[in-house]
Structure 1
Amino acid sequence: MQLDRHRGKVRRLHAACRQECVMPKLLNINTYHYRRGGSDAVYLEHSALMAAQGWDNGFFAMQHPKNLPTPWSRYFIDELEFGNAYSTLDKLKMASKVIYSFEAQRKLRALLSDFPADVAHLHCIYHHHSPSILPVLKKAGVPVVMTAHDLKVACPAYKMLNRNGVCESCRTGSVLNVIKNRCIRDSLAASAIVAAESGLHRALGTYQKHVDKLVVPSRFFGDKIVEWGFPADKVVYIPNYVDASTQVPRYEAGDYFLYFGRLALEKGVDTLIRAAGAAGVVLKIAGTGPEEAALRALVAQLGADTGARIEFLGFQSGAALHTLIQQARVVVLPSQWYENAPMSVLESFGFGKPVIGAAIGGIPELVRDGVTGWTFEPGNVQALTALLSRTAAMPAEALAEAGRAGRAMVETEFTKDRYLAAMLELYAGLGVRS
Structure 2
Amino acid sequence: MHNAYQQKGGEDSVVANEIALLRKHGHEVELYFRHNDEIVNQSKLSLLTQTVWSKKTHTEFLSLLKKINPDIIHVHNTFPLISASLYWAAQTLNVPLVQTLHNFRLLCPQATFLRNGRVCEDCVGHIPWRGVIRRCYRGSFAQTAVLSGMLTIHRSMGTYKNKIDRYIALNEFCKNKYIQGGIPAQKIMIKPNFVDDVGVGLEQRSGFLYVGRLSPEKGARIFADAFNAKQHGHLAVIGAGEESIYLTDIEQLDLRGPQLPQNVRAAMRTSLALVLPSICYENMPMTLVEAYSSGLPVIASRLGPLCDLVEDGYTGLLFNAGDAADLADKMAWAYSNPEAMAQMGRNARAKYLAEYTEDKNYEILMNIYNEAIAACLK
- Judge same fold: TM > 0.5, yes or no: yes
Moved over 6 A (4+): none
What residue in structure 2 maps to residue 403 of structure 1? 345
The 2-side partners of 1:323 and 1:58 are apart by 33
Compared CA separation, residues 387 and 320, structure 1 to 2 (3 A)? same
Using the TM superposition, give the Cα deviation of residue 386 of structure 1 relative to its aligned residue in structure 2, in angstroms.
0.9
Contact 2:273 2:298 in 1 (8 A): yes
| Alpha-carbon distance in 1 for matches of 2:126, 2:28 | 43
Q: State the alpha-carbon separation in 1 of the partners of residues 5 and 71 from structure 2.
A: 21
User: Are the structure 2 counterparts of residues 63 and 339 from structure 1 closer, same or farther at C-alpha, using a change threshold of 3 Å?
Assistant: closer
2:48 aligned residue (95, 105, 125) = 95
Secondary structure of the corresponding residue to residue 30 of structure 2: strand
Q: Which residue of 2 aligns with 1:72?
A: none
Tell me which amino acid in the other structure corresponds to 1:284.
A
1:273 maps onto 2:216 in alignment: no
CA distance in 1, matches of 2:288, 2:180: 26
> 2:24 — aligned with what?
52
Give the direction of change, closer, same or farther, for the CA distance of 1:152–1:235 in structure 2 (3 Å limit): same
Structure 1 residues 356 and 52, CA gap change in structure 2 (3 angstroms): same
Distance (whole Å) between structure 2 residues aligned to residue 234 and residue 358 of structure 1: 29
Counterpart amino acid of residue 275 in structure 1: A
Aligned counterpart in structure 2 of residue 135 of structure 1, from 88, 96, 99: 88
Matches within 5 A, 1:278-357: 280-281=231-232, 282-293=234-245, 295-296=246-247, 299-300=248-249, 307-357=250-300
Higher relative contact order (CA 8 A, sep 6+): 2
Same amino acid, percent of matched pairs:
28
Q: How far has the Cα of 1:173 moved from its partner? A: 3.8
Aligned partner (choices 72, 81, 106) of residue 119 of structure 1: 72
Alignment deviations for residues 303-322 of structure 1 (CA, whole Å, 9 cap, x no partner): xxxx1222211001222212
Given that residues 172 and 190 in structure 2 are in contact (C-alpha distance below 8 angstroms), is that contact kept between their aligned partners in structure 1?
Answer: yes
- Which letter does structure 1 place at the counterpart of 2:244? E
Unaligned runs of 5+ in 1: 1-28, 65-78, 301-306
Q: Give TM-score, length-normalised by structure 2.
A: 0.93
* 1:152-301 matches, cutoff 5 A: 152-244=105-197, 246-250=198-202, 252-254=204-206, 256-277=207-228, 280-281=231-232, 282-293=234-245, 295-296=246-247, 299-300=248-249
Contact map agreement 1:333 1:356 (CA 8 A) in 2: yes
1:225 Cα deviation from its structure 2 partner: 0.8
RMSD: 2.0
Give 1:205 deviation, angstroms. 2.3
The separation in 1 between residues aligned to 2:209 and 2:195, in whole angstroms, is 20
Per-residue deviation, 1:226:
0.7
Flag the structure with larger Rg: 1
CA contact (8 A) 1:250 1:351 kept: no
- Report how many aligned residue pairs link the two structures: 373
Query: Residue 398 of structure 1 aligns to a residue in which SS?
Result: helix
Give the CA deviation at 1:354. 1.0
**Whole-angstrom distance in 1 between the partners of 2:203 and 2:307:** 22
2:231 and 2:335 in contact (8 A); partners too: no
Per-residue Cα deviation, 1:202-236 (whole angstroms, up to 9, x for no partner): 22121111111001111111111111111000000
1:72-87 → structure 2 map (5 Å cutoff): 79-81=37-39, 84=40
Any stretches of 5+ residues in structure 2 without a counterpart?
A: none
